[in-house]
């Protein structure tokens, strides 16, 4: 693990919080060193944009920015809000050291209770393993 990755793990280990993490708003998130949630599988940690991994690999949550159907948008909001709630109780950010094809740091989120955030979302039907085919949220 690189020094930067180790520093991110140490910086993001947080005690229980009273409120869910904020929803990302506005630009210049890296410069502002924001910590916030974009959707059910993407967020920012101290200005580093990340993509969620589960304990066994990639995680895919429904699309919030460009949903293919109304059901996907509803599920996307539910996934985002559940991730905010889970992380709001405390978490550790564990970067893999590898970016995805869009430059986001692939990372696991270990919750304060020891569970993996990606695994929780998948077990609750709010995400699915990545890679996958079709759009289960729109029954395609």
Cα 48 to Cα 87: distance, rounded to the nearest angstrom: 16
Q: Which residues contact 25 (CB under 8 A, 6 or more apart)?
A: 36
pLDDT at 1: 54
Q: Does residue 131 contact residue 58 with C-beta atoms inside 8 Å?
A: yes
pLDDT at 42: 97
pLDDT for 46-102, tens place per residue? 999 999 999 999 999 999 999 999 999 999 999 999 999 999 999 999 999 999 999
The residue with greater pLDDT, 124 or 132, is 124
Please give the domain boundaries of the chain with CATH numbers for all domains: 3-130 (2.40.50)
pLDDT for 18-29, tens place per residue? 478 999 999 999
Q: Does residue 14 contact residue 6 with C-beta atoms inside 8 Å?
A: no
102-110: average pLDDT? 97
* pLDDT, the chain, mean: 89
Q: Does residue 91 contact residue 109 with C-beta atoms inside 8 Å?
A: yes
C-alpha pair distances (Å), 6 with each of 9, 30, 105, 133: 5, 18, 13, 34
pLDDT above 90 covers what percent of the chain? 81
- For the record, the structure tokens of 107 come out as 């990372």
pLDDT above 70 covers what percent of the chain? 87
SS3 47: coil
pLDDT at 2: 53
């Amino acid at each position: 693990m690189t020094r930067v990755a180790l520093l991110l793990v140490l910086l993001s280990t947080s005690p229980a919080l009273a409120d869910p993490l904020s929803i990302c708003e506005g630009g210049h998130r890296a410069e502002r060193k924001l910590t916030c949630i974009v959707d059910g599988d993407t967020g920012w940690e101290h200005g580093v944009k990340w993509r969620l991994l589960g304990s066994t690999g990639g995680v895919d949550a429904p699309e919030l920015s460009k949903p293919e159907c109304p059901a996907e948008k509803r599920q996307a909001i539910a996934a985002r809000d559940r991730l905010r709630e889970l992380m709001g109780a405390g978490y550790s950010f564990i970067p893999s050291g590898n970016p995805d094809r869009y430059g986001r740091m692939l990372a696991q989120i270990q919750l304060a209770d020891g569970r993996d955030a990606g695994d929780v979302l998948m077990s609750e039907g709010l995400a699915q393993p990545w890679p996958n085919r079709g759009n289960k949220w729109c029954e395609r």
